[in-house]
Structure 1
Amino acid sequence: MSKHNAVPAPVEEYDYEGLPPDYTLGHNMLAGAFAGIAEHSVMYPVDLLKTRMQIINPSAGGLYTGLTNAVSTIYRIEGIRTLWRGVSSVIVGAGPAHAVYFGTYEAVKEFAGGNKDDHHHPFAAALSGACATISSDALMNPFDVIKQRMQVHGSTYRSISHCARSLYRTEGLTAFYVSYPTTLCMTIPFTATQFMAYESLSKFMNPQKEYDPFTHCMAGGLAGAFAAGITTPLDVIKTLLQTRGLSQEAEVRNVRGLFNGAKIIRSQYGWSGFFRGLRPRIITTMPSTAICWTSYEMAKAYFKRYRESESYAASW
């Protein structure tokens, strides 16, 4: 058959994980940015509910008995638009942070031998996930602090720039990173567990390693739910640290770090306090990771197909 009659094989017939040599870091970062913005934008209202339910001693208007009560109370008192209050912060931060996240993931995975053959490489997946979250959280942490300050009931911040300026003026630069060590203590095991689970589930559900949106969605959602459940206690401490400046209690305002935060939660709520917001966290994370992985794999598939169509056109 002449090259003029040749038909390029569809993307599904290629080893999906074995990316072509000209698939650059930039492509991975663009795919990651797309995935991050899609994930955070869609699931933001549930993330706001999680933050509200984790606050220690909230104001009277911020007391909720459950998810349904939280939604109805916010709608009645503050209006439905409140559920998206602070979303601009995560949109601004999520694109660059997820670009770094997935760029690091793919680079470390390749370096650790995760793409060498068809065998499963859980260590490479865990290592690449841990490295990805260390680098991306350094960029995202200040935006996450701003987001949570704007999510709290009674917040008076008008915009992300207003919040950032006020926070810097009253609490200094350290306020943007006081929760970073705790964030890493949470996100490193979360991401390592999530990536291992995702790679394992993907290999089990899709042994041919083809582009399959259903597989990516299911594997991503299940992996995220599992990882979110076991790291909720650290997320509760992170929320305490990131919202400390809004508390009416001197002890909370002066909280110094991970262990001090854990002590405060334990003394006020007992062991059950470490699982405040568990349901909204899982409800947020499961579809979030499903959206994130599906968007990321879709963007990768698009870039791959585009490269293949370019190669085919060049052969004419």
Structure 2
Amino acid sequence: MDFWPEFLANSWGREFVAGGFGGIAGVFSGYPLDTLRIRQQHSKTGSAFTILRNVVSTEGPSALYKGMTAPLASVTFQNAMVFQIYAVLSRAFDKSVPLSDPPSYKGVALGGFGTGALQSLILSPVELVKIRLQLQNVQAKPPHQRLDSHKGPLGVAKSIMKTEGWRGMYRGLTITVLRDAPAHSFYFWTYEYMREQLHPGCRKSGQESLRTMLLAGGFAGVASWVCCYPLDVVKTRLQAQSPYVPLKYNGIVDCFRKSVNEEGYHVLWRGLGTAVSRAFLVNGAIFTAYEIALRCLFNNGSIHSENAI
């Protein structure tokens, strides 16, 4: 009964819980745009608006939230771990900075890189299940598989384990690490840099406005996606492959080469507009929820007046 009060009494507990609140806010705010991004990357034609109109007319608005249970169920723990690992690594990579000062930009960038690599171990299976669910009515399947087309994330995960094993569950892990390590480095560095530019001195005082949180978080999300987007397209195509049909791609390089040869280099940026729009919205929500939760936990529920819009 005394676990949570004791856990929240230390800085690790606050970072962990605040990160969880941020993750939940991010999933709810941007999931429909994520579904559109995945369908754009997997298809050969169609704008975001065309795909949106077709999805709503043929499958209903709820299809935009298909597969959300998988990331939502894990996102609290995943995002909590991301912010907690980052808090530790950003200090560990530059110990010359006193604990009373914010971590240096060098520590922020290196800490973000390590955080992205480590969190891929959690994220890769979750994204695999999510992508399979989001593409359920898009991929061609044998008749015996169509009966299972509406099963939830647990059903999809069990099916993958049964037919492909752990190797199948972690399909796309390498490309996820290659995407997330540099992306998280840009992510946290951009956030820290932008919040300081928008509100000088706030990294040390912790009293930036909600507007600063939203904008800095939004710019951080955009920067992280732009730097790694071609890798995300390759990852989606690799993880969308089903064992019920012959595999089209035999690896990262093969997927990259075949995609470019068949559809041109522009395929590597397909869906970028949707991804960037979602990134700004989602990461603004994530950092705002994170910062507010952190202040509530540190200040017994009170938030500085500067945080009001």
Residue 179 of structure 2 contacts residue 232 of structure 2 at CA under 8 Å; is this kept in 1?
Answer: yes
Counterpart position of 1:149: 132
Q: 2:283 aligns with which of 286, 289, 296?
A: 289
Deviation at 1:104, TM superposition (A): 0.3
Counterpart position of 1:182: 175
Q: 3-state DSSP class of the match of 2:24?
A: helix
Q: 3-state DSSP class of the match of 2:137?
A: coil
Q: Which amino acid aligns with 1:143?
A: V
Unaligned stretches of 5+ in structure 2?
1-8, 139-148, 304-309
Deviations 1:271-291 (A, max 9, x none): 111111111111111111111
* Counterparts in 2 of 1:52 and 1:167: CA distance versus 1, 3 Å: same
Counterpart position of 1:11: none
CA distance in 2, matches of 1:307, 1:81: 35
Deviation at 1:56, TM superposition (A): 4.8
Number of corresponding residues: 280
Is residue 75 of structure 1 aligned with residue 59 of structure 2?
no
Counterpart position of 1:306: 300
Deviation at 1:292, TM superposition (A): 0.9
| TM-score after normalising by structure 2 | 0.84
CA distance in 1, matches of 2:166, 2:211: 43
Residue 178 of structure 1 contacts residue 257 of structure 1 at CA under 8 Å; is this kept in 2?
Answer: no
Counterpart position of 2:36: 49
Q: 1:239 aligns with which of 231, 236, 240?
A: 236
Deviations 1:121-145 (A, max 9, x none): 2210111111222222211211111
Residue 97 of structure 1 contacts residue 137 of structure 1 at CA under 8 Å; is this kept in 2?
Answer: no
Deviation at 1:110, TM superposition (A): 2.6
Is residue 139 of structure 1 aligned with residue 122 of structure 2?
yes
Deviation at 1:118, TM superposition (A): 5.1
Counterpart position of 2:146: none
CA distance in 2, matches of 1:115, 1:265: 49
Residue 56 of structure 1 contacts residue 240 of structure 1 at CA under 8 Å; is this kept in 2?
Answer: no
CA distance in 2, matches of 1:302, 1:23: 14
Q: 3-state DSSP class of the match of 1:194?
A: helix
Deviations 1:28-50 (A, max 9, x none): 11111111111012211100000
Q: Which amino acid aligns with 2:48?
A: L
Higher radius of gyration, 1 or 2? 1
Is residue 127 of structure 1 aligned with residue 117 of structure 2?
no
Moved over 3 A (4+): 113-120
| TM-score after normalising by structure 1 | 0.82
The equivalences for 1:191-206 within 5 A come to 191-206=184-199
CA distance in 2, matches of 1:103, 1:271: 37
CA distance in 2, matches of 1:213, 1:193: 22
Deviations 1:165-222 (A, max 9, x none): 1111222211221211101111111110111111111111122313322111101101
Residue 70 of structure 2 contacts residue 153 of structure 2 at CA under 8 Å; is this kept in 1?
Answer: yes
Give % identity: 23
Counterpart position of 2:152: 159
* Counterparts in 2 of 1:143 and 1:43: CA distance versus 1, 3 Å: same
Is residue 225 of structure 1 aligned with residue 208 of structure 2?
no
Deviation at 1:153, TM superposition (A): 4.4
Deviation at 1:223, TM superposition (A): 1.8
Q: Which amino acid aligns with 2:254?
A: N
Is residue 276 of structure 1 aligned with residue 270 of structure 2?
yes
Residue 91 of structure 2 contacts residue 103 of structure 2 at CA under 8 Å; is this kept in 1?
Answer: no
Counterpart position of 1:256: 250
* Counterparts in 2 of 1:153 and 1:104: CA distance versus 1, 3 Å: same
* Counterparts in 2 of 1:24 and 1:153: CA distance versus 1, 3 Å: same
CA RMSD of aligned residues (A): 2.3
Residue 109 of structure 1 contacts residue 115 of structure 1 at CA under 8 Å; is this kept in 2?
Answer: no
Deviation at 1:230, TM superposition (A): 2.3
Residue 266 of structure 1 contacts residue 273 of structure 1 at CA under 8 Å; is this kept in 2?
Answer: yes
Per mean C-alpha deviation after superposition, the further-off stretch among 179-188 and 155-164 is: 155-164
